[in-house]
Every structure is written in structure tokens, then in C-alpha cells.
Amino acid sequence: MSEDQSAKRPVPTMRDIAAAAAVSQSTVSRVLSGAPTTVPIAPETRQRVLRTARELGYRPNPLARGLRGASTNLIGAVVRDFSDPFFAGAIEALVVESMAHGYNVVLGHAPGRLGDVAVSLTTVLETRHTDAVVLLGDMQEYPQLLVDLRNSIVPVVALWPGTSPREFPTVDADDRAGIRAGLSHLVSLGHERIAFVNAELPNEYRAREEAYLEFMRDRFGAVPPGYAERSPSTLAGGDAALRRLMDRPDPPTAVAASTDVVAVGVLHAAHSLGVTVPDRLSVVGFDDILIAAHTVPALTTVRMPISEIVGYAVTQAVRLAREPADVQRQPALEIFRPELIVRDSTAPPVLR
């Protein structure tokens, strides 16, 4: 076999070994881990599994829990975007909660778009052994990473998965309820000309934008033309979006944004344009990142329950890590409801 052909050969998994050796995947796991078992494994079965693993060229997953029969007290965290202030807050909460359970955190970064380059689990978390893995953000654009996680005996818990399939125990927020809370607040103040700036997220996750469109149609019968803006998930994106909105012949009296980062960009553009907030324009964000309470004026926003979501996820990860490796884990979904935080960036519209 040529070097080029060898490089393209699929990496063998425990599932492949089980099929070739005619045993269960749990038996393969117990043999390769070397850990004591309550149910004895026949010596010939053990030898057949080891021989098959050698013949297939199997290399142990360095993240497989209990390869040496001992817990590492480490939780691996795979983060979609270190630069996003939202995930910075989530990482801090994850470290605090993990330490409260007696665990430390190993951080791995899912890099930006790499075209056809396969991003594997070992690429992201190097060769550190972990007892569980927590995914932060949408990982659908990393199919090899997801394949590795499916094949690993390490338990996985996913947070804020976006468009990713719900194949692991998952914890998320009710984005639609959060958007409705922010918009209902604006309507209660008397706003009707409410625009929306949607931050473009990976894999076209637009649940918050869809909630805005649904709310406006139900409440007012239609969405004013041009009031649903899309922008990069950046300060500059929010800035540019508001400039387009205020350039309309019928500019909005209020703007809701799908993230606080975009909302801060909206505040910056309003200041540059001489549009006073909240007198001439009310602004509502989403997430309640650290700087939201310190903008001028302080940003009214929808608080993402990060501590509660992370706390629940870590509790589940630790529980799963303490179960036997061959226990079948079923996907599950736990939803948390965001909370409206009213600050100084919203007020009744000034009639003009």
C-alpha cells in the first residue's frame, strides 16, 4: 500500500474492532482499558480483541475515560469561539462550576472555517485524558470532531448547540421566549416601529430572527419593509446596520438586537449620528454579557442564564463520567428561560 493510500485509510474505532472480533463494543472497551471487570472476560476473547486491534492499526483515543482505570478529574471544554465575549463568560462559569465538583478544565478551541480540513478531537484537545467533554456552541461544521465524539466512550454534554443535531445530552435556552420578552417590553412602552438586527451565526442559526418576525406579524400584522436587518456578529456590524435603518424615510423608534455585541454597535452608531438613546431610539440586546451594564446608557437586555445552564451541564457531565463506560447514553434536552433586564436604554417613544 502506498503512503498516499495509507493516509486516506479510515482510522479504526472500537466499533470496527468489535465487528471484526465478533464481540460487543463494551467488551472491546473493557479489554483495551485494562480496568478490572465484574464480569470475567475469557483469555481467548481478550487475546482475540488485542490481536484484532493490532491488525487494524487501532490507536487508543487519548480522551477515552479510564484507559488506565482511573479518573483524571479533568473536563474537556471544546469552545466554538474564544473571541466571543459570550463564550468568555461561559468559560469562566464552567471553570468555577467544575472546580466546585472537584474537577479542572482543559480548554480546546474549534478553529475558524478550514474548508475540507478535518478537525479531530485529538487536534482540539491535544492528548489530554478527560473524564467528560463539554461542547460550547454549534459544532456542525466540524464533522470529524462529532464523529470522534460519537465513537468515544467519554460522555459528552452540549451547550447552545445551534443547528447541530441533538445527539448528546444537551442544555440550551429558550431563545424565542427571550426575544418575545424584549419585544413585549418595547411594545409596553408604546413602540410600534421596532426593527431587528440579527447577528449572523454559524450555519445560519436564526431562531431569534424568526421569533422577531413571528412576534411582529402576530402583534402588528406585518413587519415593516427593511426593518429586519442582518449583520456580522461584531460591533461594526451593529453600527452599520443601524446606519442603514436610520437612513430610511420611516426610521424605527426602537431596535432589538440578537446579541449584546451587535446592540453595543447600535449604541455606538446612534451616538455618532446624534440619535439620543433612549429619547429618540430605544435599544434592547440579548445575552447580558459583562459590558452590557456598563454601556452609556446601560443596555436593557435579555439575560442568558449562563450560570444555571453551565451548572446543570457540569452536574450531568460528572454524573455520566461516574457511570460504567458501557452504559448506553440517550440524547436529552434541558431548556432554560432567559430573563429580561431593564436598564437605561429603553423608554417610551417621543412623538414627532
Q: Where are the domains of the chain?
A: 3-56, 74-173+307-337, 175-304
Q: 152: how many CB neighbours lie within 10 A of its CB?
A: 20
Q: Give the pLDDT of residue 65.
A: 43
Hey, which residues does 135 pair with through a beta bridge?
A: 78, 158
Q: Give the pLDDT of residue 113.
A: 54
14-28 per-position pLDDT tens digit? 888 889 999 988 888
- Whether the Cβ atoms of residue 172 and residue 159 lie closer than 8 Å to each other: yes
Do 74-173+307-337 and 175-304 agree at the fold level?
A: yes
Q: Give the pLDDT of residue 126.
A: 58
Q: Which residues contact 22 (CB under 8 A, 6 or more apart)?
A: none
Q: Give the pLDDT of residue 62.
A: 45
Q: Give the pLDDT of residue 2.
A: 42
Q: Give the pLDDT of residue 329.
A: 74
Q: Which residues contact 2 (CB under 8 A, 6 or more apart)?
A: none
Q: Give the pLDDT of residue 287.
A: 97
Top CATH class of 3-56 equals: mainly alpha
- The C-alpha atoms of residue 181 and residue 184 are separated, in whole angstroms, by 5
Sign (positive or negative) of CA dihedral 162, 165, 170, 176: positive
Residue 103: closest CA among 334, 260, 319: 319
Per DSSP, 40 falls in state -
Topology adopted by domain 74-173+307-337: Rossmann fold (3.40.50)
- φ/ψ (deg, to 5) at 50: -65, -40
Q: Give the pLDDT of residue 351.
A: 67
What pTM was computed for the model?
Answer: 0.78
Q: CATH number for 175-304: choose from 3.40.50.2300, 3.90.1150.10, 3.40.1800.10, 3.30.230.80.
A: 3.40.50.2300
Please report which helix (H) or strand (E) contains residue 280, including its range: none
- The C-alpha atoms of residue 139 and residue 119 are separated, in whole angstroms, by 11
**How far does the chain reach from its first CA to its final CA, in angstroms?**
78
Per DSSP, 203 falls in state G
Residue 270: closest CA among 286, 258, 253: 253
Q: Are strands 339-341 and 300-303 parallel, antiparallel or unpaired?
A: antiparallel
Q: Give the pLDDT of residue 3.
A: 43
Q: Give the pLDDT of residue 66.
A: 45
Per-residue pLDDT tens listing for the chain (352 residues): 444 444 455 677 888 888 999 998 888 877 765 555 667 788 788 788 878 887 887 765 544 444 444 678 899 999 988 888 999 999 999 999 999 888 999 998 776 554 445 677 766 775 457 889 999 999 988 888 888 888 777 889 999 999 888 889 999 999 999 999 999 999 999 999 999 999 998 778 899 999 999 999 999 999 999 999 999 999 999 999 999 999 999 999 999 999 999 999 999 999 999 999 999 999 999 999 999 999 999 999 999 999 999 999 999 999 998 887 656 677 889 999 999 999 999 999 986 5
Q: Give the pLDDT of residue 52.
A: 87
- The C-alpha atoms of residue 290 and residue 282 are separated, in whole angstroms, by 20
